[in-house]
Amino acid sequence: MAAQAPIGAVTPRQQAQNALAAIESSYSGFAGGTGFGRFRNGTAGVDRLYDVEAPVEASAVIGHAARITAVANPVFLNSGVLGGTAVPVPTLPYIGSLATGSTNIPPQQFSNGIGGELQLSTRMAGVAVGYTPYQFLVHNVTGRVQLSPVGERFILYGERQPVKDTQLSYAGLRDPGVSATMGPVWGGVIATTGGVRLSSGGSASSFSLDADGGVLAGRHVQDNYVVRGSAQAAFRVRSWANAGSLSLGGLFTGMHYQRNEYGVSYGQGGYFSPSWYFGAGVPVVLRGGGDTKFHYEVQGSAGVRTFRQDAAAFFPLDPALQGRYGACASGVLTYSCGYYPETVTTGFDYAVHGEFSYRFAERWYGGGFVRSTNRNNYEDVAAGFFLRFAFRHQTTAEGRPTGLFVTEGIRPLQIP
């Protein structure tokens, strides 16, 4: 007589059925929203950034072949209130052509509006087209494309996306040196890049290489180009049944920009653009969940970085404005003769990202996230929450669905 499974135990057959049902339910449409706030440190009214966004999306699946997703994204930006003169160079442009010695403090500028994106993804490809908020002073058409003809081991990708370092680079500003309400507009930088990702390995260990490059352009901002690369390895060092896993690894990154566009004077782009950058860190990833309803992922990396920012003219596209400063003595480019001087910086590098999801009803998922980094020579902190409703019943099985929905980039064919 065959031994019977204990009452309440799940048989191998039932486990297999649950796993197949979970995969089937992952081909579900969904709807929901995300709300988050981001803070980039810096000088108030200049390069500080308060960014509040609330994307709402709806997604539908055609058979098991394609997912169509529409995203509407309300955006609210401001850089704070410009204070008094804090820089000891009276002729240094504070922002635009407004000098630090000016006693005329301009009113705060805001950038609010609704952007959007329409996406189509299949198992081997994804494409998206969208736009930054039309109400921005500088608005742009955006796009993404991703091809994975042999799966996750080889991916070709490209995108055209705004540079979100500052309000200037993201949305554009009016030159307060002329008028904060009627002055000329500059900024609104868009980056058009493409690259390739190679990866190998599995859940126990993995290795990946990334390389990309492209051009950056904005209104009354010098064109620029960038090349970047990274190499990362990860090794699982511990796992817990039904609870999660811990991985460690190594990460190396490098980048090069043609021009330094870090300044916020009229003609500069307001974004981090080092002549060369090298960083090395040790990433740690902890992921899993206490049961089939709760899932989490925590990523952290600590290391060092060093980079050089080249000297850059205050007004690279306006000879008349630049001519106010005269020639630089002995060819040394300094603030006093109209240049942001060359700098070389070496320091501690970190990045932290954590998110969690909980399935609190048959088709409902909710969760939150927090992230922080200093990799672009400033502190960037963001936190938010999300809510998703799946159109089909979600069957739970070990490992999926996690409910950790993708909130940036192209949404995958299957719910994670």
Residue 280 sits in a domain of what CATH number? 2.40.160
Give domain status of residue 411, yes or no: no
How many domains in the chain? 1
**Which are the contacts of 71, defined by CB distance < 8 A and separation ≥ 6?**
55, 56, 57, 116, 117, 118, 119, 130
Query: Is there a domain that residue 2 lies in?
Result: no
Look at residues 210, 213, 217, 225 and name the one whose alpha carbon lies nearest to residue 257: 225
Token pair in block for residue 14: 């039932």
Give a yes or no: residue 6 inside a domain: no
* Average pLDDT of the residues in 88-110: 77
pLDDT of 156 over the 50 cut: yes
Assigned token pair, 121: 């993804």
**What's the CA angle centered on 274, arms 145 and 183, to 5 degrees?**
80
**pLDDT at residue 7 in the model:** 47
Which amino acid does the sequence have at 210?
D
Residue 189 pLDDT class (50, 70, 90 cuts): very high
Would you give the distance in Å from CA 393 to the centre of its chain? 32
Question: Mean pLDDT for the chain?
Answer: 89
With pLDDT > 90 as the criterion, what percentage of the chain qualifies?
Answer: 66
- In 3D space, the residue among 390, 159, 402, 172 whose CA is nearest the CA of residue 296 turns out to be 402
Structural domain that includes position 230: 12-390
In a domain, 53, yes or no: yes
Give a yes or no: residue 401 inside a domain: no
Helices (H) and strands (E) in the chain, counts: 3, 23
Concatenate the DSSP letters of all residues of 360-409 into one string: -SSSEEEEEEEEEE-TTSS-EEEEEEEEEEESS----BTTB-------SS
CA angle 390, 396, 400 (to 5 degrees): 85
Give yes or no for residue 273 having a pLDDT over 50: yes
Q: Is residue 415 part of a domain?
A: no
370 found inside a domain: yes
Q: Does the residue 193 lie in any domain? A: yes
